[in-house]
Amino acid sequence: MAGKAHKSTRLSNRAAPLPFDRLGGAGHQGAMKTALVTGSAGFIGYFTARRLLDQGWRVIGLDAFSDYYEVALKERRQAMLSQSPGFVPLRARLEDPGRLMDLFAEYQPDLVVHLAAQAGVRFSIDSPRSYVEANLIGTFELLEAARAHPPAHMLLASTSSAYGANTDMPFSEHQPTVHPLQFYAATKRANELMAHAYSHLYRLPTTGLRFFTVYGPWGRPDMALFLFTRNILEGKPIQVFNHGNHTRDFTYVTDIAEGVIRVSDQIAQPNPHWNSDQPDPATSNAPWRLFNIGNNNPVKLSAYIEAIEAAVGKKAIQELLPLQAGDVPDTYANVNELQTAVGYKPATPVKEGVANFVAWYRQFYGV
């Protein structure tokens, strides 16, 4: 959501507030709960906001429409959400002082789903400052606004990249994460720790969600699935790092959104068994939790490419390259905690998810 952002008026595109009883629940007559979704025009933000709207929430959708990738894609996502009378679109940058404080004071959100961030592992190697502004300062501004106007629950998106140099798989939330391999991962890990500090000091219930290689329709154009599909269709070579030998726990976007919604219903609570002599990294004596959301089924990159080839109906021209700086060889999510807490485990097969993306891509771009 950061990077270079388009200028906008202070919390522009306001919609008139809907009738709203802060103590009421979604579905109660004459009452509607309010959720703030940051990065609502983003990939995961769109699907999450859509699910909340379908459940009867009023959704305040905040996005900066940064030009990290094509803004037209973000505009289309936000336009589709705006067709719902329960959606309030706002354009602003998280890191601008006072913007979020004003928003929280006006809308008093019950739930905050913080998905806005400067994304991209490789971009963080060359442009780390934008990650400071969006991921660190932006999250600080959000936490300050939440401290002043506490929601019932705040969720913060994190990443499997937080596991960094760790190779003990499947990755568990109970493992320490102290060796990030890129600045992007460092900022997301910092967000988890910032949230914990606010949970401890101000009893603000927060939950961090570590997403594993999200893919699917309406995805980001800088991600492998998008790049590979486009180049294969156009007969251009694709760059295959680590000679296609690394694995990723590819997780379909609607599975991610489902996990987010289910966790949102489980307000973070202190762990009564937490022991400061043997501190558990996944829980706390504060109202704070961490969950992996991943497919729990790592797939080799070469097999992922084969799924794309099958969906496109054309073989890829592969340029085999060594592992890139900042990349990890493998990711694999342990989702036992997610299953125990909310009874859910992502399960969309990669072949199905890839085929859905390719069908969307052909329709969206008229290929």
- Catalytic residue numbers read 184
For the purposes of burial, counting CB atoms within 10 Å of the CB of 362, is it exposed (0-12), middle (13-18) or buried (19 or more)?
middle
Helix (H) or strand (E) holding 298: none
Beta strands in the chain (DSSP E): 34-38, 58-63, 87-91, 111-114, 153-159, 206-211, 214-215, 237-241, 247-248, 251-252, 288-293, 299-300, 317-321
* Token output for 50: 């859509």
Compute the radius of gyration of the chain from its Cα atoms: 20
Whole-number Cα distances in Å, 180 to 19, 120, 160, 169: 45, 14, 10, 16
- 328 in Cβ contact with 245 (< 8 Å): no
**Facing residues of 62 across strands?**
38, 90
One-letter amino acid for residue 238 of the chain = I
Other beta carbons within 10 Å of 91: 20
- Strands 247-248 vs 299-300: parallel, antiparallel or unpaired: antiparallel
> What is the rounded CA–CA span in Å between residue 257 and residue 224?
20
CA angle 299, 300, 301 (to 5 degrees): 115
Alpha-carbon distances of 45 from 90, 129, 278, 339, 341, rounded to whole Å: 14, 23, 36, 22, 23
